[in-house]
Amino acid sequence: MRLFLLACLAGIASFIHAQKPTPTASWKRHPTQEAYAVVNPKGIVCTDYIFQNPMPFRQTLAIARKNQSNFLVRADGSLLPDSFDLILPATDGFFMAFLSDQNIQWLDNDGQQVNIDPPGPHSSAQEYRRIRKDGKSGVVDPSGHISIPILYEDCSGKPIHQLHLVTKDKKHGLMNTAGKLVAPFEYDWLQYWPTSDMWLFKKDGFSGTGSGDWKSVSPAIYDKVEHLHARWPIIKVWKNGLCGGWSPYKEEFIVPSYANLYPPVMGSPAIRFRETDQSIGLMDTTGKIIVPSKCKDFRYFEPGYYRISLDDKVGLLDRFGNEVFPAKYEICRPFDERYFLIRQDNQSAILNFEKDTVLIFKNHDAQFVSASSDLQTLVLKFNNKLGLYNRDFQQLSPSEYKAIIWVNDSLLIVQQDDLKYDLITTQNKVLTQRPYQKLAPLKNWNIIAATQDGLIGFLNSKGEEIIKPKYLETIFWGENLIMGKKAAVVRTTSSDPSGFTKTERVTKLPDYNDGRSFVFVFIDSTGKEIPGEKYNKVDPLYQDLSKVKVDKKIGYIDQYANVIFPPEFIDIEYPYARFTRVRKYNSLRWGIWRNRKEMIPCQYEQINRFYNGFVWAQDNGTRFYLDSLNRQLVLSPEEAATRLSLPVEFLARYEAFGYPNEEENWIRVRQDGKWGWIDNQGKIVIPCLFEATTPFQQGQARVLIESRYEELILNKKGEILLGQINFVYK
């Protein structure tokens, strides 16, 4: 018993000893100089006073400066072999090291290099990232901590339903963001399908599905699983050569018994299925049969009808599978979104949507093509030629046209055999003064685009030229305008030796990089050019704004061609919230405009975007922050001393002081051109290492690193947050 008690006491003592923090190395300052030596965990000074600007030891390493270079120092005073221009501590014991060529290396707490995935082009800085070391992968969370250890062959950085796809020993599994295994490493293939919010997997040669959160998983019993269509959440499953369906809402709702399944057409909830005898039917998205499999063909017609084929006869179903016309006609199809055309026993008729007969064709040799909305004018085909007829089948025009396009119920565009186009009335009156190479009605506009000699102009409804053909291209701009592109010089004139003047159109123009070969203008719905600036280049609209260029000067216009920022800049960024960085023509200085007005003058070497009311700028090699009134966010020594209740003499070592908006009464200070933080006792809490800084807000601050214009996020321990690195690094 006594021995047992002694053993217990020894165990408790060893447990208490194990709970004591492991001693780390520290620094000892020289009595008279700004130099430091390493004190190892046993309290022994193990180096000379050879280090400057040391940071506290983090586990086994610390950052210090020696001979104008930065090193990682071990607890015994030895150095890691590589030196860097700058080394910063990062979360979870990592280090961020900068090289002179702007490369960045990530180092772990043993000084070994790791790789952290940069964000994608459209992703947020605050996200999960994959981290790699020695061929193994893990995950860093947005706060910069390792959520999945670096032990696996591969990991997905971005989680789905808080799940990461992880690979181990060539098998796939799922781990949650806390690093707990949710799906074991037993899958040969595992893929997420966002449309259905399901996982597709393959295991031991068979396939199955799982819900997005992996709470519902099918057995691995299928030969193959695949997507029905990108727009539909249904998964096709194959078993013994037959096809079925799996839904996230109803699991296996279609038993594998069909030759194939086909996705619904736009606007229809019906799935087409094909039996093994090749007959086709319709079912809804719950697997309920709508139309039995007795048809040989399905064809979809707008606005929402299926033409079915059965015993060489056709009929119509609506998009829900309800019968509109039985399969007993030679022709049966909707047209003009208001009528049906049917043909039975060699006799054709037009019916309205109430199935009332509106018109019966008397000439059985005529092939119906189209009609005006009131059915007063018909386009019929005889011997592969088109002509116009009234509803009594009296001829309004000869059947001589190759193509007829309706503009409205009274106007048509006709194409002749010689590929020339004219505008005519329903009474076959030609309105155009000359034939064109092409005519095209503009939907919802009362004008017609006319092409001649490769150039585009516009006609009104009378066939009159509003704008003579002069545009190389025309495109719709926004909802109410057309943009026209024309050559800056369209024609050249020269004289031959006989004295005759010869004029030729320039078909190939010099292609200047600044766009001077072309001029872009805007045209309203009446076909008239909008007065204003003529642009040499116009970029596509993006969020209702477009970058434009005049000669070499750049600006922005909106979807109505209103000038948002005048084209007077040599460089301008896309305006976010109507803010934009600008650099004026023939100037190397940057400023900021907002809502068409100058906010910060173009007087800085560099300037960044506004963020939380701040913007950083650089002038004469010095970086600083500005507010929206173009004021530098710094304090005088007197203001800083008053705020900190410290004597001015104590602050004499610092050049400038940050804007008074600090947590825990910290204040930003600048020393030797670099910024850091001191506390209200004057003690340095974060060394002066940064080109520019913002005040701490909710425990985080933004900082800039020398020779880099991207921002880093810093916590109050002075650590860079691994999960919020918002730039691409090498």
Calculate mean pLDDT across residues 287-312.
Answer: 78
Q: Is the pLDDT of residue 50 over 60?
A: yes
Q: Is the pLDDT of residue 509 over 60?
A: no
Q: Is the pLDDT of residue 704 over 50?
A: yes
Query: How far is residue 166's CA from residue 175's CA, in Å, rounded to a whole number?
Result: 7
Residue 183 CB-density burial (10 A; 0-12 exposed, 13-18 middle, 19+ buried): buried
Give 609's pLDDT tier (boundaries 50, 70, 90).
low
Q: How far is CA 357 from the centre of its chain?
A: 52
Per-residue model confidence (pLDDT) at position 204: 92
Element (H, E) at 234: strand 232-239
Calculate mean pLDDT across residues 112-120.
Answer: 74
Residue whose pair of structure tokens reads 């990682």 in the numeric block: 72
Q: Is the pLDDT of residue 254 over 60?
A: yes
Give the chain's largest Cα–Cα span. 132
Q: Quickly list H helices, 349-454.
A: none
Q: What does the CA dihedral 114, 120, 121, 124 come to, rounded to 10 degrees?
A: -100
344, 328 contact by CB (below 8 A): yes
Per-residue model confidence (pLDDT) at position 39: 92
Query: How far is residue 567's CA from residue 570's CA, in Å, rounded to a whole number?
Result: 9
Query: How far is residue 635's CA from residue 639's CA, in Å, rounded to a whole number?
Result: 6
> Which one is predicted more confidently, 473 or 243?
243
Element (H, E) at 19: helix 2-19
Calculate mean pLDDT across residues 174-203.
Answer: 92
Does the predicted TM-score (pTM) go above 0.75? no
Q: What does the CA dihedral 491, 493, 496, 498 come to, rounded to 10 degrees?
A: 120
**Residue of 491, 393, 482, 484 whose CA lies nearest to 446:** 482
Query: How far is residue 557's CA from residue 574's CA, in Å, rounded to a whole number?
Result: 11
Calculate mean pLDDT across residues 316-332.
Answer: 83
**Residue of 279, 273, 346, 341 whose CA lies nearest to 310:** 279
Question: What is the radius of gyration, based on Cα positions, of the chain?
Answer: 38
Complete DSSP assignment for 264-329:
PPTT--EEEEE-TTS-EEEEETTS-EEEEEEESEEEEETTTEEEEEETTEEEEEETTS-EEEEEEE
For residue 477, the 8-state DSSP code is E
pLDDT digits (tens, 9 = 90+) for 522-574: 888 777 888 877 888 888 887 778 888 888 888 888 888 888 888 888 777 77
Do β-strands 232-239 and 438-441 pair in parallel, antiparallel, or remain unpaired? unpaired
Instruction: Outline where DSSP puts E strands in 573-717.
Output: 579-584, 590-594, 597-604, 606-607, 615-619, 622-626, 634-635, 656-658, 667-671, 674-678, 684-690, 692-693, 700-704, 711-715
Do β-strands 323-329 and 331-335 pair in parallel, antiparallel, or remain unpaired? unpaired
Query: How far is residue 730's CA from residue 722's CA, in Å, rounded to a whole number?
Result: 15
Q: Which two tokens stand for residue 271?
A: 């799935």
Per-residue model confidence (pLDDT) at position 118: 66
Asked whether the CA dihedral 142, 147, 153, 154 is positive or negative, the reply is negative
Query: How far is residue 79's CA from residue 56's CA, in Å, rounded to a whole number?
Result: 15
Instruction: Outline where DSSP puts E strands in 99-170.
Output: 104-107, 113-116, 129-133, 136-140, 146-152, 154-155, 163-168
Query: How far is residue 608's CA from residue 612's CA, in Å, rounded to a whole number?
Result: 12
Query: How far is residue 451's CA from residue 461's CA, in Å, rounded to a whole number?
Result: 16
Calculate mean pLDDT across residues 511-522.
Answer: 61
The residues pairing with 36 across neighbouring beta strands, listed in sequence order, are: 29, 51
For residue 372, the 8-state DSSP code is -
345, 363 contact by CB (below 8 A): no
84, 113 contact by CB (below 8 A): no
324, 315 contact by CB (below 8 A): yes
Q: Is the pLDDT of residue 613 over 80?
A: no
The backbone region for 366, taken as left when phi is positive above 0, alpha when psi lies in -120 to 50, beta otherwise, is beta
**Residue of 265, 335, 254, 249 whose CA lies nearest to 289:** 254
Per-residue model confidence (pLDDT) at position 345: 80
Q: Is the pLDDT of residue 660 over 60?
A: no
Per-residue model confidence (pLDDT) at position 502: 39
- Terminal CA-to-CA distance of the chain, rounded, Å? 65
pLDDT digits (tens, 9 = 90+) for 350-375: 887 778 887 787 666 678 888 888 88
Per-residue model confidence (pLDDT) at position 309: 83
273, 299 contact by CB (below 8 A): no
Average pLDDT over all residues of the chain: 79
238-247 long-range CB contacts below 8 Å, 24 or more apart?
242/276, 245/271, 245/287, 246/198, 246/209, 246/218, 247/196, 247/285, 247/286
Per-residue model confidence (pLDDT) at position 262: 85
Per-residue model confidence (pLDDT) at position 154: 93
Residue whose pair of structure tokens reads 């109803």 in the numeric block: 250
Query: How far is residue 93's CA from residue 107's CA, in Å, rounded to a whole number?
Result: 9
Asked whether the CA dihedral 553, 554, 556, 557 is positive or negative, the reply is positive
Helix (H, G, I), strand (E, B) or coil at 102: coil
Query: How far is residue 375's CA from residue 406's CA, in Å, rounded to a whole number?
Result: 13
High-pLDDT (> 90) share of the chain, %: 12
Q: Is the pLDDT of residue 6 over 50?
A: no
**Residue of 592, 624, 619 whose CA lies nearest to 606:** 619
Spatial CB neighbours of 676, under 8 Å, sequence gap ≥ 6: 668, 669, 684, 686, 687, 688, 689, 690, 693
pLDDT digits (tens, 9 = 90+) for 397-454: 888 888 988 888 889 999 887 788 999 998 889 898 888 989 988 877 788 889 888 8
Query: How far is residue 654's CA from residue 637's CA, in Å, rounded to a whole number?
Result: 8
Q: Is the pLDDT of residue 711 over 80?
A: no
CA angle (652 as vertex; 648, 657 as ends), nearest 5? 85
Q: Which two tokens stand for residue 712?
A: 């880093």
Residue 493 CB-density burial (10 A; 0-12 exposed, 13-18 middle, 19+ buried): exposed
